[in-house]
């Protein structure tokens, strides 16, 4: 088990699992359910603790704030990403294999892990959203907003922490023609609002990592790294892993299949059906929720499968479908950000116009993501 655990620990999470997917399946796991599930939890817990130590070092160095490097651009330090990834996997595993674990312990830890993952993920999400929206403005309006235009008298309070985006866009602006003022103002407004939200999320994440609540989570995970608390009266944990774990993974797959069956896949499978735009802009959130639920269930299935096939990432179909759903979530959130920016008082009509173009463009991305998902999920359609 120790060796197996080390494999798990050494194996990079999330980011590069896709590449690992190319490798051959290791087949059914050896050992009892307790050994296999315990080994997986052990591995993720070790990752969690290593990321925590790395964060402590980073925090000691740069103060934990955004640095000047790539980590700054996507808004999160790698250590925080590691914490988040391990927390998500631990929580997902506790959910899928709950029948084998001490229920009270599993439920409370899962609640805390999802609080943590959510808190740590927000800064990254805001940074990615801003990047996506500025990129879309760039695509829609030619060159990205330049620092000058950003800082300029946009008439809608576009002054603010826009230096970063400005410097990023400046280079592009120089080599291309001038941007329609509306798009420049919209970019400035979005940069101001999302940078503010990101900064708040960053402080909230740091605060969380220093909180007693977090330390309690860390203690629980540390315990997990040594010994996973199985259900006392559960004899199954001593049986061979496949017989015990596979049915629970299968149940997760059934939940996913049911959720997918509820989606208007045949419609999404027809390109340019305007489904992403068809409903009232006010009801977008409702129609997106069903798709986002599928994204979550698909991720749970992936984690459940990791327990059974330690060294194997998701197959190409699952990975592509998951990526499409991730794009769906991001485009949906970006469209909402454009819409809420348009509700800012006293913005210029040109700004509102550009935000409207941006909103529709991101809804189009939502529609495209649904098409891509359906394409990968059921090529027959």
76: nearest Cα among 133, 126, 115, 17: 126
- Give dist(CA 99, CA 85) in Å, integer: 23
Rg (CA), the chain: 23
CB nearer a copy of itself, residue 142 or residue 170: 142
Instruction: Give me 144's structure tokens.
Output: 């990205």
CB-CB contact of 51 with 82 (8 Å):
yes
| Residue 180 in contact with a copy of itself, rule: CB under 8 A | yes
From the CB of 338, what's the least distance to a copy of itself, in Å?
A: 9
State residue 240 phi and psi, 5-degree precision: -55, 140
Judged by CB under 8 A, the residue of 104, 272, 379, 380 near a copy of itself is: 272
CB-CB contact of 351 with 182 (8 Å):
yes
Instruction: Give me 113's structure tokens.
Output: 């892990």
Judged by CB under 8 A, the residue of 368, 373, 374, 376 near a copy of itself is: 368
| Residue 296 in contact with a copy of itself, rule: CB under 8 A | no
228: nearest Cα among 44, 7, 21, 20: 44
Q: By CB under 8 A, which span of 74-82, 98-106, 119-127, 367-375 interacts with a copy of itself?
A: 367-375
From the CB of 376, what's the least distance to a copy of itself, in Å?
A: 14
| Residue 347 in contact with a copy of itself, rule: CB under 8 A | yes
- How many residues bind a copy of itself, per CB under 8 A? 38
Cβ-in-10-Å burial (0-12, 13-18, 19+) of 169 comes to buried
From the CB of 275, what's the least distance to a copy of itself, in Å?
A: 11
Judged by CB under 8 A, the residue of 13, 34, 224, 352 near a copy of itself is: 352
From the CB of 372, what's the least distance to a copy of itself, in Å?
A: 8
| Residue 173 in contact with a copy of itself, rule: CB under 8 A | no
299: nearest Cα among 283, 323, 316: 323
| Residue 286 in contact with a copy of itself, rule: CB under 8 A | no
| Residue 277 in contact with a copy of itself, rule: CB under 8 A | yes
CB nearer a copy of itself, residue 113 or residue 347: 347
Q: Which helix (H) or strand (E) segment is 268 a member of?
A: helix 265-268
CB nearer a copy of itself, residue 191 or residue 367: 367
Considering only residues 84 to 143 of the shown chain, the ones binding a copy of itself according to CB under 8 A are 139-142
Residue with tokens 């479908």: 321
CB nearer a copy of itself, residue 61 or residue 135: 135
E-state strands within 77-198: none
Sign of the torsion formed by the C-alpha atoms of 25, 31, 32 and 34: negative
| Residue 357 in contact with a copy of itself, rule: CB under 8 A | yes
| Residue 334 in contact with a copy of itself, rule: CB under 8 A | no
CB nearer a copy of itself, residue 259 or residue 348: 348
| Residue 281 in contact with a copy of itself, rule: CB under 8 A | yes
DSSP for 43-81 reads HHHHHHHHHHHHHHHHHHHHTTS--SSHHHHTTS-HHHH
Q: Which residues bind a copy of itself (CB under 8 A)?
A: 139-142, 177, 180, 271-272, 274, 277-283, 342, 347-361, 364-365, 367-368, 371-372
């Amino acid at each position: 088990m120790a060796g197996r655990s080390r494999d798990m620990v050494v194996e990079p999470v999330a980011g590069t699992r896709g590449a690992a997917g190319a490798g051959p399946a290791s087949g059914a796991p050896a050992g009892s359910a307790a050994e296999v599930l315990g080994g997986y939890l052990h591995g993720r817990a070790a990752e969690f603790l290593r990321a925590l130590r790395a964060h402590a070092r980073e925090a000691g160095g740069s103060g934990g704030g955004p640095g000047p490097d790539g980590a700054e651009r996507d808004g999160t330090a790698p250590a925080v990403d590691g914490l988040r990834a391990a927390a998500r996997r631990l929580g997902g595993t506790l959910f899928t294999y709950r029948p084998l674990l001490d229920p009270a312990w599993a439920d409370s830890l899962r609640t805390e892990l999802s609080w943590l993952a959510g808190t740590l993920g927000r800064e990254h999400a805001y940074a990615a959203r801003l990047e996506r929206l500025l990129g879309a403005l760039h695509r829609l309006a030619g060159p990205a907003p330049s620092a000058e235009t950003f800082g300029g008298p946009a008439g809608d309070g576009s002054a603010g922490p826009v230096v970063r985006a400005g410097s990023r866009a400046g280079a592009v602006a120089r080599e291309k023609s001038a941007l329609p003022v509306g798009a420049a103002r919209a970019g400035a407004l979005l940069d101001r609002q999302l940078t503010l939200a990101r900064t708040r999320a960053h402080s909230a994440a740091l605060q969380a990592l220093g909180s007693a609540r977090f330390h309690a989570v860390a203690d629980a995970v540390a315990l997990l790294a040594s010994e996973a608390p199985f259900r006392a009266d559960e004899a199954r944990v001593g049986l061979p892993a496949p017989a015990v774990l596979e049915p629970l993974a299968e149940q997760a797959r059934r939940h996913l299949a049911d959720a997918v069956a509820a989606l208007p896949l045949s419609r999404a499978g027809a390109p340019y059906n305007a489904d992403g735009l068809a409903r009232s802009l006010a009801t977008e959130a409702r129609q997106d929720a069903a798709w986002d639920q599928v994204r979550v269930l698909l991720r749970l299935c992936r984690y459940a499968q990791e327990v059974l096939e330690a060294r194997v990432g998701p197959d190409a179909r699952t990975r592509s479908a998951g990526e499409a759903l991730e794009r769906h979530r991001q485009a949906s959130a970006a469209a909402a950000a454009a819409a809420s920016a348009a509700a800012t008082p006293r913005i210029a009509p040109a700004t509102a116009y550009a935000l409207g173009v941006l909103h529709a463009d991101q809804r189009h991305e939502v529609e495209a993501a649904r098409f891509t998902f359906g394409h990968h999920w059921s090529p027959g359609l």
